[in-house]
A and B are shown apart, each in its own frame.
Chain A
Amino acid sequence: MRRRTVALALGTAAAMVLTGCSAMSPNANGTVTLNMVESLTNPSRTDLLKGLIADFEKQNPKIKVNLISPPTEQADQKIQQMLQSGSGVDALEVRDITVGPWSNNGWLYDMAKDLKGWQGWNAMTENAVKASEDAKGRTFFVPYGFYGLSLFYRKDLIKDAGFSKPPASWDQLLKQASAINDPAERRYGYAFRGGANANSNATAIIEAYVADKVDLANGYKLKNGRTIFSAPEALDALKTYLTLFKKASPKSSVSWGYPEMVEAFSNGSTAFLLQDPEVIATVSESKSISKEQWDTAPLVAGPSGKTVQPLATAGWGVAKGSKHKAETVKLIKFLSQGKASTDFTKKNSLVPILKSATEDPFYKTGPWSSYVTMTKHPDTYLNVSQPRGVTWWREWEQKSDADVQKMVTGKMSPKELLTGWDAYWTEKWEQEK
């Protein structure tokens, strides 16, 4: 009796340990289950994806998709762990900042051959096709949309300050934001980004100032091969940027990240904000400012009248360890074309990947029109590839964010910052050779 009890206990222990260790394999009836992991998770987006997956499953009854949605903050680390283990993930969200390290570690499948001759490419914008290929012509992800900066501005505040139209250049932005800024009235000119991802706006102004000299294949490089941070115009850019902080931004914005910036514009206290299109939905729901009070304008330009669109992107890729690559590629094709793609970009407030979007009334009117304007004038709003796929991007982000904070708090001069950034990228590129 007791032996039986001991055996039962050991058997239970073994069963508990061994369950879950079996890999997902096709069922007896041939149905395949794919594991798909998203990274930039939020509840409404997850619901949207589930809807698109349901449509895909209807069209492909032999394929089931299991969507995994880790919290955004830990998502990329979770995906990394899954990829490292070599199983348990088929389709995954790949971002321009993760594609470099993940492909370098051999975790991503190159879809170039599978997508050769695919009709979906013809419907895509040039930006989307370019973003899907790395320097060696490999396709580790198909972009689902773009995150691009435009200028959110308060129509009523610029009118009250005596300006007839929104700023078109950084100098005009400084002038208008300074005129509107009045801390005593709790009214501020510009929602400065000093906290998380502060480097992105600092490099945006530098790129705008060197737009004429920038290498279109690498947004951090000049045509002469040196870094954009070595150009004399870069120093002018940072001086303007620092003045924008001192004269037109709240003091506490030295620690502002995305939530504070968006809140500052949405609650009506700040006149200008540089942000991605996803903010359109957030500001539209504001109880403090009405739809008549605000709009968006194209990204402000440098002294040459041109600027660089620092487009960020992400898309769907296939894990190298996937045992169902053909089915996963099928799913990615489905998500990257037609109604599925349009629904995803519209409801997720993304710059679309399909050419047809420029004719869509949804993008032609209201806050979205500035993005269409930028797309239609590629000579003014230059499409430049950012080196966001390099393996050291995360290290760079953290270093550069800290440097921007040092500059605005007076611990580092703009010249020192640029010297450091120039040395950093020069050294990295040397090591790469």
Chain B
Amino acid sequence: MPATSATTTGPKTSRPVRKQAAPRARNGPRGGRKREFTTRRGLLIAAFMAPAAIFVAVFTYYPMIAGSQMAFRHWDLNDLTDTSWVGLDNFHRVFSDPNWGTVLGNTGAWVIGSIVPQLVIGFALALWLRRRFRFRGVYQALIFFPWAISGFLIGILFRWMFNSEFGVVNDLLQKAGLIDEPVAWLADPHKAMIAVLIANIWYGVTFFTIMILAALQSVPDELYEAAALDGAGKARTLFQITIPYIRVTLVLTVLLRVIWIFNFPDLIFGMTGGGPNNQTHIVTTWMIKITQQGDYGKASALGLLVVAGLLLFTVFFLLATREKREVRS
């Protein structure tokens, strides 16, 4: 909804009503020039954008559409002699697969178990980095560093770190006296899930820190000064000034991260490959595994389900952000 409608037809507010711009004379020199400008400039812009548009069409939309039809066909890369239409059979094979329940549960645990600690730790770090202190820049650089590394590489690094016999994690825990004997982190489904979550929390905290820190810079100092004068403590200031002021950023960041984490197979693939016993697969790692088998029909069906799920989520995301924008305006 455009902001102007709120200012012209909405309830009376203390804000001045914005004046509508007077329509330009249709045949006036400026109006005429504007029409000519629009047509020609538009053509020129379209011509220069054509290469990008063609590339996006060829390399994004065409594969998407072509890939979608595989979901309704028998499409096994190991035997392309029969690619007949099979209706919803591929979807049935996804839902009737014994791994489906585990994969769904893991995906939920993966998203929630990653988001909540990332948000809490990221928020705490952002609050800490907002204060002025010596070497703040160095600390900021160190905290932002993980975001620059590929997820798959981090997966491999953590795989070695969590190795029961040669890994640094067990070594540190034993030296600290917290465990008596090495823990086989990646050999047990539950411990393996905890290990991949720890790795993802470490990796994703950075993004929350960056976003929240940027939002915190926009909170006026006067608000904090006024709160201090009113005798508000740290907790009250946090919950009644800081969080409400940066709420939009928090909502958007959480929603964005949910989509990203849902779609983030790299780390699990590098660390456990979905094992042991297929017990650490999330939807996207399982889809890759099925693709590796050559069963593109089933993988495409799963891909469409992922797209549908994320589309629903995106609608919710857009509605939520629109609501916030209206409240703000």
Residues B165 and A10 in contact, CB atoms below 8 Å apart:
no
B43 contact set on A, CB distance < 8 A: 6
Residues A395 and B295 in contact, CB atoms below 8 Å apart:
yes
Residues A16 and B277 in contact, CB atoms below 8 Å apart:
no
Residues B79 and A252 in contact, CB atoms below 8 Å apart:
no
Residue-wise, chain B 269-310 has the 8 Å CB interface mask toward A (1 for contact) of 000110111100000000001001111000000000000000
**Measured between alpha carbons, how far is A405 from B77 in the docked complex, in Å?**
26
Interface assignment of A138: CB less than 8 Å from any CB of chain B = no
Known: A186-B165, A255-B186, A269-B166. A411 touches B51 (CB 8 A): no
Residues B184 and A252 in contact, CB atoms below 8 Å apart:
yes
Interface assignment of A195: CB less than 8 Å from any CB of chain B = yes
Interface assignment of B104: CB less than 8 Å from any CB of chain A = no
| Chain A residue with the shortest CB-CB distance to B47 | A9
Residues A398 and B276 in contact, CB atoms below 8 Å apart:
no
Interface assignment of A267: CB less than 8 Å from any CB of chain B = yes
**Measured between alpha carbons, how far is A17 from B55 in the docked complex, in Å?**
8
Q: Return the contact of A252 from the options B55, B164, B277, B293 (Cβ within 8 A).
A: B164
Residues A391 and B51 in contact, CB atoms below 8 Å apart:
no
With a 10 A CB-CB cut-off, give which of A13, A186, A393 has the most chain B CB atoms. A13
**Measured between alpha carbons, how far is A317 from B55 in the docked complex, in Å?**
33
**Measured between alpha carbons, how far is A2 from B305 in the docked complex, in Å?**
48
Residues B293 and A6 in contact, CB atoms below 8 Å apart:
no
Known: A101-B78, A101-B79, A105-B81. A188 touches B295 (CB 8 A): no
**Measured between alpha carbons, how far is A402 from B274 in the docked complex, in Å?**
10
Residue-wise, chain B 30-46 has the 8 Å CB interface mask toward A (1 for contact) of 00000000001001100
Interface assignment of B239: CB less than 8 Å from any CB of chain A = no
Say how far A189's CB is from chain B's closest CB, in angstroms: 13
Say how far B44's CB is from chain A's closest CB, in angstroms: 6
B78 contact set on A, CB distance < 8 A: 100-101, 104, 391-395
Residues A250 and B165 in contact, CB atoms below 8 Å apart:
yes
Residues B275 and A252 in contact, CB atoms below 8 Å apart:
no
With a 10 A CB-CB cut-off, give which of B44, B77, B295 has the most chain A CB atoms. B77
Interface assignment of B138: CB less than 8 Å from any CB of chain A = no
Residues A6 and B47 in contact, CB atoms below 8 Å apart:
yes
Known: A394-B78, A395-B294, A405-B275. A254 touches B50 (CB 8 A): no
- Tier of interface size on chain A: 35 or more
CB proximity to B under 8 Å, residues A241-288: 250-255, 257, 260, 263-264, 267, 269
Q: Return the contact of A269 from the options B58, B165, B186, B294 (Cβ within 8 A).
A: B165
A188 contact set on B, CB distance < 8 A: 165
| Chain A residue with the shortest CB-CB distance to B79 | A391
B166 contact set on A, CB distance < 8 A: 263-264, 267, 269
Residues B295 and A264 in contact, CB atoms below 8 Å apart:
no
Interface assignment of B133: CB less than 8 Å from any CB of chain A = no
| Chain A residue with the shortest CB-CB distance to B156 | A259
**Measured between alpha carbons, how far is A254 from B55 in the docked complex, in Å?**
45
**Measured between alpha carbons, how far is A393 from B79 in the docked complex, in Å?**
12
| Chain A residue with the shortest CB-CB distance to B167 | A252
Known: A13-B51, A13-B54, A104-B79. A405 touches B163 (CB 8 A): no
Interface assignment of A78: CB less than 8 Å from any CB of chain B = no
A6 contact set on B, CB distance < 8 A: 43-44, 47
A104 contact set on B, CB distance < 8 A: 78-81
| Chain A residue with the shortest CB-CB distance to B48 | A9
| Chain B residue with the shortest CB-CB distance to A260 | B163
Q: How many contacting A-B pairs (Cβ < 8 A)?
A: 107
Say how far A107's CB is from chain B's closest CB, in angstroms: 9
Residues B54 and A398 in contact, CB atoms below 8 Å apart:
no
Say how far A412's CB is from chain B's closest CB, in angstroms: 9
Interface assignment of A196: CB less than 8 Å from any CB of chain B = yes
**Measured between alpha carbons, how far is A394 from B288 in the docked complex, in Å?**
13
Interface assignment of B326: CB less than 8 Å from any CB of chain A = no
A267 contact set on B, CB distance < 8 A: 166
| Chain B residue with the shortest CB-CB distance to A406 | B277
B275 contact set on A, CB distance < 8 A: 195, 255, 402, 405
**Measured between alpha carbons, how far is A391 from B78 in the docked complex, in Å?**
5
Say how far A201's CB is from chain B's closest CB, in angstroms: 16
Interface assignment of B225: CB less than 8 Å from any CB of chain A = no
**Measured between alpha carbons, how far is A105 from B296 in the docked complex, in Å?**
15
CB proximity to A under 8 Å, residues B138-191: 163-166, 181-182, 184-188
B272 contact set on A, CB distance < 8 A: 255
Q: Return the contact of A9 from the options B50, B80, B184, B273 (Cβ within 8 A).
A: B50
Residues B277 and A17 in contact, CB atoms below 8 Å apart:
no
A16 contact set on B, CB distance < 8 A: 51
A414 contact set on B, CB distance < 8 A: none
**Measured between alpha carbons, how far is A9 from B44 in the docked complex, in Å?**
8
**Measured between alpha carbons, how far is A9 from B41 in the docked complex, in Å?**
13
Interface assignment of A352: CB less than 8 Å from any CB of chain B = no
Residues A250 and B44 in contact, CB atoms below 8 Å apart:
no
Say how far A42's CB is from chain B's closest CB, in angstroms: 16
Interface assignment of A5: CB less than 8 Å from any CB of chain B = yes
Say how far A266's CB is from chain B's closest CB, in angstroms: 11
| Chain A residue with the shortest CB-CB distance to B54 | A17
Q: Return the contact of B184 from the options A17, A186, A254, A393 (Cβ within 8 A).
A: A254
**Measured between alpha carbons, how far is A2 from B42 in the docked complex, in Å?**
12
Say how far B36's CB is from chain A's closest CB, in angstroms: 10
Q: List 22 A-B contacts (CB under 8 A).
A: A17-B51, A101-B79, A104-B81, A195-B273, A250-B184, A251-B187, A252-B164, A252-B182, A254-B276, A255-B273, A255-B276, A257-B273, A264-B166, A267-B166, A269-B166, A391-B76, A391-B78, A395-B294, A405-B276, A409-B187, A409-B188, A409-B276
**B residues at A contact (CB < 8 Å):** 40, 43-44, 47-48, 50-51, 54-55, 58, 76-81, 163-166, 181-182, 184-188, 192, 272-273, 275-278, 289, 292-295
Closest 5 CB pairs of A and B: A252-B164, A9-B47, A251-B184, A101-B78, A254-B187
If A251-B182, A398-B292 are given as contacts, then 5 extra A-B residue pairs at C-beta distance below 8 Å, sorted by A number, are A101-B77, A252-B186, A252-B187, A260-B163, A269-B165
